[in-house]
Structure 1
Amino acid sequence: MVTEIAGLGTSEEAWSGWAGPAGWPTLAPPARPLIVAPHPDDEVLGAGGLLCLAGGGEVVAVTDGEASHAGSTVYAPDELVALRRAETAAALSVLGQPATPVRHLGHPDGDIDEAALTATLTGLLSPGRWCVATWRGDGHPDHETVGRAAAAACAATGAILAEYPIWMWHWADPGDPRVPWHRARRLDLPAAVCRGKAAAVAEFRSQTEPLGPAPADAPILPPHVVARFLRPYEVFLT
């Protein structure tokens, strides 16, 4: 369900005014979750609070996000790889999880090998372990590929799948029939966890701040996008 991600999208004001989340069941943080991120920052944006409340886990960084600024006048793709890996480490440290293992798979950004990823995740999962990955209907090709691979790996191993939306908050509207809201679960975040998550998101400066003056160096996550991930709860589809 690849969806055009353009313009300002649905505002956080619209989402915060929606009564839907108040009626969703709450989620208890699982032990040792495997959090799968298509790009560096997705794991913190979508599941940083869960990682904190779980007391740690493991992160799989599928790509290094080297295509986030195609045509950048400041950084070459290999320089972005190094920068984004460093940002991940800094964000996890600020989040209070500096010892969290990060497995960098190095798939090409924009061209993830779904079969290979499924095999890798199958080898990392076990019955009853939680696999937390981007939603299969998120609208971004890499996010959907990761979601499908995680679903297949969970089906093969007996692991438990929880999917987190990222770009759905941009293109969908409250109550949107394209979203399986009946599967939504809410993870409430204490104030201290919210502060830590906000500080962790801020570590991804290559995404939240301009790399330079050219249009190709514009931030991928400007303030109106980041605002969607600073709520006092996270949402998972189970």
Structure 2
Amino acid sequence: MDAVARDRFIRGDGTAADAWRGSAALAGVADAGAADLAPPGARLVVVAPHPDDEILACGGLLQLLADRPSLLVAVTDGEASHPGSLEWPVERLRAMRPGETEAALACLGVAPSVLRLGIPDGGVTAREAELADRLAQLLAPSDVVLTTWRYDGHPDHEATARACLAAARACGARTLEAPVWGWHWSAPDDGAMPLAHARRLALPEAVLARKRAAMACFASQVLPDVSRGAAPIVPPQALERVLTPFELFFHDPARPF
């Protein structure tokens, strides 16, 4: 079943991590090394819809390419993650979440250049064309642009991916897309993920440990909201699905490996 034809809702607990671990289709995805994903001489440009997406999507790859030039484009500041919260009002989130990213990157031991665009959280779709134009001004043909999956289930993730794809295709850069919430709404072996155009990057134990530690820096996302009695925005079961000994990336079928 194609992702385009599916309802992509992020609700409930989603697909269990154990189910993904038992997926024959996922186990059959070809492996790739960091240098295969971003060849020598290529700059890695990570375009994150929200603070923490850069860690969830490619915190391992960032570590493995720590000696390379890299750029993190923060599309939004993630200020809309807790609507109606007294503990996490918009002003606090806007001030705090960029600092969470800085702490997480330090945890990984990486220091990419960071560009913050300040597009409103939840408003990327409305400014998708603008985002594509801004990215086009930043990119070079030798870049590898890494972002969230174009069918990830979150409107900001999907709009960011479409903008990245448009900008990269315009200049000849390569793209890689990583599922973040796609692990939640899709199910093993249902055909929703384009595994025929995927590669798996194995993460050494120490790399995965630093990725886990980096995610702990996002207190706003991984702790409950006491003021509303609400679960974390990124609950333990979501972290378990994503913090695995590998990262999964989809390449543009028009630019195969």
| Aligned-partner Cα distance in 1 for 2:200–2:217 | 25
| Aligned-partner Cα distance in 1 for 2:163–2:140 | 15
| Aligned-partner Cα distance in 1 for 2:231–2:243 | 21
1:137 matches 2:148: no
Which letter does structure 2 place at the counterpart of 1:123?
Answer: Q
| Aligned-partner Cα distance in 2 for 1:3–1:21 | 19
Shift of 1:104: 0.9
| Aligned-partner Cα distance in 1 for 2:62–2:190 | 28
State the percentage of identical aligned residues: 48
- Alignment partner for residue 135 of structure 2, among 121, 131, 146? 121
| Aligned-partner Cα distance in 1 for 2:145–2:64 | 15
Give the structure 2 partner of residue 227 of structure 1: 240
Which letter does structure 2 place at the counterpart of 1:53?
Answer: L
- For normalisation by structure 1, the TM-score amounts to 0.95
| Aligned-partner Cα distance in 2 for 1:149–1:94 | 29
State the number of aligned residues. Answer: 236
Which letter does structure 2 place at the counterpart of 1:94?
Answer: C
| Aligned-partner Cα distance in 1 for 2:133–2:192 | 29
1:60 matches 2:73: yes
| Aligned-partner Cα distance in 1 for 2:27–2:195 | 12
Change (3 A) 1:192 1:84: same
Give the structure 1 partner of residue 225 of structure 2: 211
1:164 matches 2:178: yes
Shift of 1:237: 0.3
Say if 1:175 and 1:181, in contact at 8 Å, map to a contact too: no
User: Deviation above 3 Å: which 4+ runs of structure 1?
Assistant: none
Shift of 1:105: 0.6
| Aligned-partner Cα distance in 2 for 1:34–1:193 | 20
- For normalisation by structure 2, the TM-score amounts to 0.88
| SS of equivalent residue, structure 1 residue 162 | strand
Structure 2, unmatched stretches of 5+, are 252-257
Give the structure 2 partner of residue 84 of structure 1: 97
1:7 matches 2:18: no
Say if 2:31 and 2:200, in contact at 8 Å, map to a contact too: yes
| SS of equivalent residue, structure 1 residue 106 | coil
| Aligned-partner Cα distance in 1 for 2:220–2:114 | 19
Shift of 1:17: 1.4
Shift of 1:124: 1.3
Give the structure 1 partner of residue 32 of structure 2: 27
Shift of 1:76: 2.1
| Aligned-partner Cα distance in 2 for 1:19–1:53 | 27
| Aligned-partner Cα distance in 1 for 2:249–2:162 | 15
Which letter does structure 2 place at the counterpart of 1:13?
Answer: D
Change (3 A) 1:93 1:231: same
What aligned pairs does 1:42-61 form with structure 2 within 5 A after superposition?
A: 42-55=53-66, 56=68, 57-61=70-74
| Aligned-partner Cα distance in 1 for 2:88–2:234 | 17
| Aligned-partner Cα distance in 1 for 2:167–2:30 | 25
| Aligned-partner Cα distance in 2 for 1:211–1:100 | 31
